[in-house]
Amino acid sequence: MHKPHDTPENLDDIHPVSKKFLWLANPKVKRNFIWFTVACLILTVIIGYFFPAKHPAPWEGGLLYAISFGVIGFVAYSIVVFSAWPLFRALSRPEDYYGEDDDDTLSGEDDV
C-alpha cells in the first residue's frame, strides 16, 4: 500500500480518529484539492440553474441583490483587517509576561 510522505512510520502514536484522514497528507491530494472545490462550485451552479427556488423573496433576482453580497463581503473583510491592530494591542502581552528564560525558579531547580 502506498503511504503518503507526511505520514509517521509508527501509527501507534496517532489518535484512531486521525488515522482515517491520513490520505489528506498525500502530495497529490494537496496539489489537486482546488480542482475538487471548483468542480463542486460548478455543480452547485448547475443544480441551482435547473432547480431554481420555488418562491424567491421579492428582493431577489435584481442587479442590486447580486452586488449587495460583494459589498457586504468587502465591508466585513475591511472590518476584520482594520480591527487587527486594535486587537493586537488589546490582546498582546509583553515579552517578559511569563518570566525570563534563565529563571530557574519556574523549573524547580535550585542554584548551588
Kindly state the DSSP code that residue 12 receives in the 8-state scheme.
Answer: G
Q: What is the pTM of this model?
A: 0.37
**pLDDT for 37-78, tens place per residue?**
999 999 998 998 888 877 776 666 677 777 787 888 899 999
Distance (Å) of CA 81 to CA 4, 52, 73, 78, 86: 37, 35, 12, 5, 10
Give the C-alpha separation, 84 to 65, whole Å. Answer: 30
> Which cell goes with 102?
534563565
* 48 domain residue, yes or no: yes
Give the C-alpha separation, 45 to 31, whole Å. Answer: 24
Phi-psi region of 52 (alpha: psi -120 to 50; beta: other; left: phi over 0): beta
Please check whether residues 6 and 42 belong to one and the same domain. Answer: yes
**pLDDT for 8-25, tens place per residue?**
566 777 888 888 888 888
* 85 domain residue, yes or no: yes
Q: Which residue segment(s) compose the domain that 59 sits in?
A: 55-93
* 109 domain residue, yes or no: no
- Per the CB < 8 A criterion, the answer to whether 27 and 5 are in contact is yes
Report how far Cα 29 is from the mean position of its chain's Cα atoms. Answer: 17
Please check whether residues 44 and 63 belong to one and the same domain. Answer: no
